[in-house]
Homo-oligomer: A and B are copies of this chain.
Amino acid sequence: MTTPPTEAGLRRLPCNLVDRAIEAALAEDLGLAGDITTDATVPPDATASAFIVAQQRGVVSGLPLAEAAFRALNASVIFKAEITDGMLITRGKSLAHISGNARAILTAERVALNFLGRMSGIATLTRAYVNQVVGTSARIVDTRKTTPGLRAIEKYAVRCGGGHNHRSGLFDAVLIKDNHIIAAGGPLAAMQAARSHAGHMVRIEIEVDTLDQLREILPLSPDVILLDNMSRDELREAVALNEGRTLLEASGGVDLNSVRAIAETGVDIISVGALTHSAPVLDLGLDFQKSSA
């Protein structure tokens, strides 16, 4: 299960998702009175031209959202991306050139940069983890620890960084944790309940904290086993016990320092909450060229 951090063939962000996210963000920033500064100071027919410039090196994600922000204000604004999502940009380079109605560009600037900066921040951090595990068979995946309301967008940013996605939510896959096992009356009962209730297109993962639990659960043939907070030695032994039968996911205590050693234990999946809950923004700016009426 090799996961080369590819810059091509990225699965795309649905259009309606982009439109809705931009609409909500603009509504929040514009209120009912709009951009009162720009409306007061910039003539309606003034034009402008600007570059989005990287203030630091990183992986780009969110260009379709940035474009949509400007065009939502004025459909005739021209947005020319100079790079594509998933690609690396270096400091001082331009991500895109924007030209057209000056009011639209000034008013949409912050919403465009807020999306682009955050998403690129996630992609950049993801890429750092992915780079650490190059050559191993481990995939770096995200978690449900995403910003409320932005999960699909953040999961796309993880893909831009070369990572993969864990389940989308509580609805599309089963993940049986310790409390579910207790409530169901043991791992066997929990697995049977899940198999009986879930459709045949739903994967079932189950969490174990110890190697003893792993031994108890392996014969139940879940699709994936989550090895929670295990030491590297335990992970290595888990891989050995598994004999390639089921996918093994490691989680807990993963950071940029530890991730390579964890990958080298032979686990298939390493899930990292920090990708989405603690990635700093990628610093980007909008540099205007001389505007002309």
Copies in the complex: 6
Interface pair A114/B147, CB less than 8 Å apart: yes
Interface pair B42/A183, CB less than 8 Å apart: yes
- Which size class do A's interface residues fall under? 35 or more
A9-35 to B contact mask, C-beta < 8 Å, 1/0: 101111111000101111111111111
Residue of A37, A121, A223, A269 with highest tally of chain B CB at under 10 A: A37
Q: A106 CA to B174 CA in the complex, in Å?
A: 13
Interface pair B183/A24, CB less than 8 Å apart: no
Interface pair B172/A168, CB less than 8 Å apart: yes
Q: A89 CA to B16 CA in the complex, in Å?
A: 34
Interface pair A16/B26, CB less than 8 Å apart: yes
* Residues from 179 to 194 in A contacting B, C-beta threshold 8 Å: 179-184, 190, 193-194
Q: A267 CA to B201 CA in the complex, in Å?
A: 15
Residue A144 at the chain B interface, CB threshold 8 Å:
yes
Q: Give which listed residue, B33, B115, B194, contacts A168 with CB less than 8 A.
A: B33
Interface pair B281/A145, CB less than 8 Å apart: yes
A159-188 to B contact mask, C-beta < 8 Å, 1/0: 000001111111111111101111110000
